[in-house]
Structure 1
């Protein structure tokens, strides 16, 4: 590619990212059945065909997906088979490991903190592949849950999680995706590795594959010029994939007597638009918008963002 062509591509990428997203009236429609509805947008002037979320069905993990397939508002499509998102891989069966082996992964990134790995177990991966620890803070949420459930005390559980406290906790966690230098560094490193392409196919995950993984995926999709509404619906789809499993967890806690009111966990188990909004509002306040978050908050230069587009969009 000539220098003039490179400059043109970089300029085009800058224009796309500076715009952030098209106006709501030009947002694409995402797949049906993608969890809780996103905030209302104005009716679109045009619609692209509904897109199917590409889940990888496994027995020991319920929220494993290929990030590819989405259309961008620049007319491209995110390539499939390059980046995967998931919940923890510590409970994979032998058959699951065979399925994961078929993805040809070169790297698996674990966003869990050490306490989560200690309690839930290390990832079970195909031979020759080991997880790269890249912990992103949960503000002590996992420890809070362990303490609340372990106490078996309904009064203590209500004091810790009831009265909107669980929801407030989640919003605080999402804000740290923007405000914490350590968290931003982990997200930025992952985006640079995706842009480099040398370790593709690549997978990243946390415990439930919905919050840290959900934000990572939201940022990646928007950086690829996937419409904001589509990126939101991909984020909210975790409710669809996790719903039945999370309900079983609550039923088990009720039956065992460890929680009298396991519905206290629902705000922690779900993804919600207002959690995502807590992060994006903070992003607007600190960096003036998505482009500022990418370039100032995550420290990604235009060449890296151009490489990301080139690698991931066809």
Structure 2
């Protein structure tokens, strides 16, 4: 297969190659595989960074669709280049295969409304980092995670302090109280007459309460610093405070609202094992541990009521430099 190395992501029969292939990795065994759905011949290449993918020697070649096992490192993050006669695409697993975390994800590979893609390995959203194993920390150092932003309230982080990879040079405790999943926070939420309504109200507070707005303004100040990435921002579950942070970053990068909502709702798949026992024991607590469209939508609608558009909120209230953000985090 002959393909110029500078040929970028292209279309495969009217669809992006990115949408026709993905990297899977088992959380327990960490075994990786390629799932692909194209009819042409293809070749897969690998590297420990996007820039270091070796496009001279494929690690796997094939034709047609299927799931194919990959022989790659179990302890270091890998990135993959997929070549077909129609074009080339960069792939990586979206969900990080770490034993001590449930909802740690790369925002890379998400497509913007203009057809560009967020760079892999730069922006990560996650849940609590207090149970990370030594192997997990080695894995995060291979990225390498340079900055860690902790949105948890002070009592949450004090009881379960982050375990940080050696690569983390900058840490930022930016407490956001709404979304507190400490035992006291959960008990207080359960006293509400309608927990769904409370969760909607909480998401409105995330984008209207001055303390919360200031926290997200600080988030963007960090994200817009070239020296900060690769960076991870997290809370306890990775769905409310980190979920809103991720949504705002995706809006700033030009991702459409439907895709942003899809990313938000995917927390449910990853958090099922983490909170299923609690939900089974306390069914009324289900909204506290679940991402529901109406929750994030309540926050988005609040932004539009207060500021007209999400973009005005980002640029005027959160001081986001949209051009800089897209220059740093979008593929050319």
Residue 58 (structure 1) aligned with residue 58 (structure 2): no
CA contact (8 A) 2:92 2:120 kept: no
Residue 166 (structure 1) aligned with residue 195 (structure 2): yes
CA positional deviation for 1:30:
12
Residue 90 (structure 1) aligned with residue 119 (structure 2): no
Partner residue in 2 for 1:267: 287
Residues 128-186 of structure 1, C-alpha deviations (whole Å, 9 max, x = no match): 6363201112176646445469xxxxxxx6xx15x5x2112211110112211221121
Structure 1-normalised TM-score?
0.72
Find runs of 4+ consecutive structure 1 residues off by over 2 angstroms: 29-32, 127-131, 139-149, 248-251
Unpaired stretches in structure 2, ≥5 consecutive residues:
1-18, 23-88
Instruction: Select the structure that is richer in strand.
Output: 2
CA positional deviation for 1:212:
0.6
Partner Cα distance (2:120, 2:317) in 1: 28
Partner residue in 2 for 1:217: 246
Query: How many residues get paired?
Result: 245
1:146 to 1:30, Cα distance in 2 relative to 1, 3 A = farther
1:128 to 1:295, Cα distance in 2 relative to 1, 3 A = closer
Instruction: Select the structure that is richer in helix.
Output: 1
CA positional deviation for 1:244:
2.1
Q: How does 1:202-241 map to 2 (within 5 A)?
A: 202-241=231-270
Unpaired stretches in structure 1, ≥5 consecutive residues:
1-28, 33-48, 150-156, 255-261
Partner residue in 2 for 1:309: 326
SS at match of 2:319: coil
Partner Cα distance (2:20, 2:161) in 1: 34
Q: Which structure has more RCO (C-alpha within 8 Å, separation ≥ 6)?
A: 1
Aligned partner of 1:133 among 165, 173, 183: 173
Partner residue in 1 for 2:307: 287
Partner residue in 2 for 1:123: 162
Residues 170-205 of structure 1, C-alpha deviations (whole Å, 9 max, x = no match): 111101122112211211222232222211111100
1:140 to 1:232, Cα distance in 2 relative to 1, 3 A = closer
Partner residue in 2 for 1:19: none
Q: How does 1:138-153 map to 2 (within 5 A)?
A: 138=178, 142=182, 144-145=184-185, 147=187
Structure 2-normalised TM-score?
0.68
